Structures are given as structure tokens and as C-alpha cells.
Amino acid sequence: MDLIHSKACASLSCFNTVRREITALRTEQERRELAESSDDALSDTVTSRMELMWLPGHEAAEGNEAADKEAKKAITEGTSSRDDLPGWLRHSLPANLLAVKQELKRIAKTEARDRWRESRRFKRAAKIDETMPSGKYLALTDELTRREAALLTQLLTGHTCLNGHVNRINRAETPWCPHCGERNYETLTHVLYICPKYL
């Protein structure tokens, strides 16, 4: 495998040299002459023929198992040292924009989930659905109207129009239930289980 690698590197190095020289030339005649002479240079340097072909799976093609073994070795043992790489691979590769976007989206989701789990609202919502926020919750609310989904979210988070919450955000004078009087916070628990008005 090392022999194939070194021959391929030599071929690529020769090819890159010729390509740079051709690009540097200005006249058409000089380009034509160099192209003709480069064919001779390439044929002298490359002593073996390289053929690329697609193989469905591992069909015991000659060299395929060795290539697979080398690929697995590269994955487990890491990449080659910088000095062993051909010159055109020594520079850092440009980032794949799609991969960067996916990674940023993954990080944002992880941070949002962690913040949610650390909040006081999570403790309340976890009694109903521990998996929030999740695709499961989105699937459950998918067929609800926007108003119904908003009401469900308000119930889960405790952000309702009841005095207990509205007072906490300075939009009501007192947190008390208007039907039960002082010392009875108007919360979801109070409205659903205690307040005689709604029982």
C-alpha cells in the first residue's frame, strides 16, 4: 500500500508542477510546447497505471480489501503526519458549510435543552411530560390549532392569565384568587383542585 501511495504522490507532484508551469506561461505556443513535453515527463515518472472504478460493496476485488484495511487503519490510528502528506493536502481544508450549520444547530438545541432543564418551569412541565422540549411534544401538538397549542404550553409552563402569574410579572395588584380572597394564590393548582367556583 505504501508503494501505491508513494507512486500516486509522485504522479500528483509531477502533475501539479506541470500544471503550475503551464498556467504561468503566457503564449499559446509556449503552452503547446510544454504540454507536449509534459506528456513525456509524466510517462517517464509514472510506471504504473491507476484506474478508478465503482464497486458495489466488497466484492473481493483485488486490492479492495487492502484499501479497506488501510482506510480503517487511518480512522483508528489517525491521519498521516503533515510531513507525509503531499503538498496540496498540507493546507487546512475549507469547512463544509452544511456541516458547520448542522453543528451550530446541534449546539443551539443542546444549550436550549440544558437551559430548559435548569429552569423552574421544567419542574412543573416534567410532571406532565418529562421529554419536553422534544419532537414528541411537537407531534402531539401538531394537529392542535395555534390557540389550543398556546393554551397547552401556558398550562405546562404556568404562564397563564391567572393572578398568581400576572402579579409576578407586575401586571396585577395582588396574586389572590378573586373568588376565595386573601391568602389563596390564584394558580393552576388552586383553580383546578381547590377553588369552589370551578369545582
Tell whether the model's pLDDT for residue 133 goes beyond 60: yes
| C-alpha cell belonging to residue 130 | 418529562
**Model's pTM, two decimal places?**
0.38
Average pLDDT over the chain, rounded to an integer: 77
pLDDT in tens, 138-169: 788 889 999 998 998 888 788 899 999 999 99
Q: Give the rounded distance of the alpha carbon of 131 from its chain centre.
A: 21
By the 8 A CB rule, do 177 and 188 touch?
no
Q: How many alpha carbons lie under 13 Å from residue 18 in its C-beta half-sphere?
A: 20
The whole-number pLDDT of residue 3 equals 46
Q: 22-36, 51-65, 105-119 — which is least confidently predicted?
A: 22-36
Retrieve residue 134's grid coordinates. Answer: 422534544
Phi, psi of 182 (to 5 degrees): -60, 155
